[in-house]
Amino acid sequence: MKSYISALICMFGLLLFATACNNDVFIDAPDISEDLSATIEGDGGSAEFAITTKNLEYISLDVFSENRKFCTYYNTSGEIIDRDSPASEVYKIVFDNDFTKIEIIKKGKKLFFTSISNTWAKCDWTIRLDYGYTVKFINVTVLQGKPMELLDIVYGDIETSEYTKIGVDRILMENGSTMDLTTEVYPYIQTSAEILVKPTDPNSWIRAERFDMPVPVYDGNGWKMEVKNILPGTSYRYHRPDQMMEVTIEVPAKSVVRVRTDIDYAKVEARGTMFFLNPVLDRQLTAYIICTSSYPIHYDLHIDEEPLK
């Protein structure tokens, strides 16, 4: 009987010891919800997250190194502090550039994420919480708010010129019969008018946006400014009204005819400045462009005939 009681006491002691060890391991685990994500509006949208501050060593906005220059950390006194300051000293994190502004505020065991302005289509943000034993991430998707407004485009001197493309279309025709053959070719079928708005900065943000903007367009008699929907860095093409114009040629009996089409183009080139406004932050910015526009104005058919072998 004594042996049985001793065994029970021993087992009870082991159970208490195991429970104590288990508490020692997990007692500091952060009591945070597993769903640390939200989707908010771009202009004025906000989200609230419950966190634990126990053993929270660092808090940071997880951004690429080139974007860290737009990120500022503040303490409760409103003073700027270092990015690597302890989490206990961080009160607010602000990301602010001409296109986007967000604020993250830590109040006790809550984080408040606010998007003040977002001109992009959509932005995904990550807040990193470094604890002594783990790392947690808060993910926030910010939808597009009011986009950048194109206020004006000012062009400088416009240069006009002409050039020729040789062999835009090459056709080989064989007539093995004993009778002449009449057929049609389409001199302008392989051509198009082309407008290229190219930012002088190869990494300019305007390459990712479409704009309704005035560009030089040829109307058959000369150049004029006309509004087109342009994606900078990508060619905008349009056709002549007589794109499918036919020209009749003769292929003599027992012969081979080689047809080459050369096209003369009119061309203009102009440097310009685009002026933009972030309507929420009331900030203006500029982008510099080179606009090149060309239009097929004349064709030459070169016909070479040789006997059929």
pLDDT of residue 308: 81
* pTM of model > 0.85: no
Return mean pLDDT, the chain. 89
Please compute the mean of the pLDDT values over residues 38-62 and round it to a whole number: 96
Strand order in the sheet with 37-40: 37-40, 135-143, 122-131, 56-61
Per cent of the chain over pLDDT 70 is 89
Q: Which of 44, 32, 108 is nearest to 76 (CA)?
A: 108
Name the pairing type of β-strands 37-40 and 100-107: unpaired
pLDDT of 192 > 60? The answer is: yes
pLDDT of residue 26: 41
Q: What is the pLDDT of residues 17-33, one digit of tens each?
A: 444 444 334 444 445 55
Extended strands (E) in 63-178? 71-74, 80-81, 92-96, 100-107, 110-118, 122-131, 135-143, 149-175
**What architecture does CATH give domain 149-307?**
Beta Complex (2.170)
Q: How confident is the model at residue 49 (pLDDT cuts 50, 70, 90)?
A: very high
Question: Residue ranges of the domains in the chain?
Answer: 30-143, 149-307
Q: Cβ-count burial of 146 within 10 angstroms (0-12 exposed, 13-18 middle, 19+ buried)?
A: middle
Residue 116 half-sphere exposure toward CB, CA atoms < 13 A: 16
- Write down the CATH number for the domain with range 30-143: 2.60.40.10
Q: CA 288 → CA 172, 223, 269, distances in Å?
A: 46, 22, 14
Q: Which of 13, 35, 10, 45 is nearest to 280 (CA)?
A: 45
pLDDT of residue 27: 43
Q: How confident is the model at residue 14 (pLDDT cuts 50, 70, 90)?
A: very low
pLDDT of 102 > 60? The answer is: yes
Q: Which of 67, 158, 54, 46 is nearest to 111 (CA)?
A: 46
Q: DSSP character for 132?
A: S
Q: What is the pLDDT of residues 121-158, one digit of tens each?
A: 899 999 999 998 899 999 999 999 999 999 999 999 89
pLDDT of 74 > 50? The answer is: yes
pLDDT of residue 34: 65
Q: How confident is the model at residue 306 (pLDDT cuts 50, 70, 90)?
A: confident
pLDDT of residue 9: 39
**Residue 172 amino acid letter:** L
Name the pairing type of β-strands 37-40 and 135-143: parallel
pLDDT of 8 > 90? The answer is: no
Q: How confident is the model at residue 180 (pLDDT cuts 50, 70, 90)?
A: very high
Question: Which residues have a Cβ under 8 Å from the Cβ of 10 and sit 6 or more positions away?
Answer: none
Q: Cβ-count burial of 125 within 10 angstroms (0-12 exposed, 13-18 middle, 19+ buried)?
A: buried
pLDDT of residue 130: 96
pLDDT of residue 32: 58
Of 8-12, 44-48, 80-84, 155-159, which gets the smallest average pLDDT?
8-12
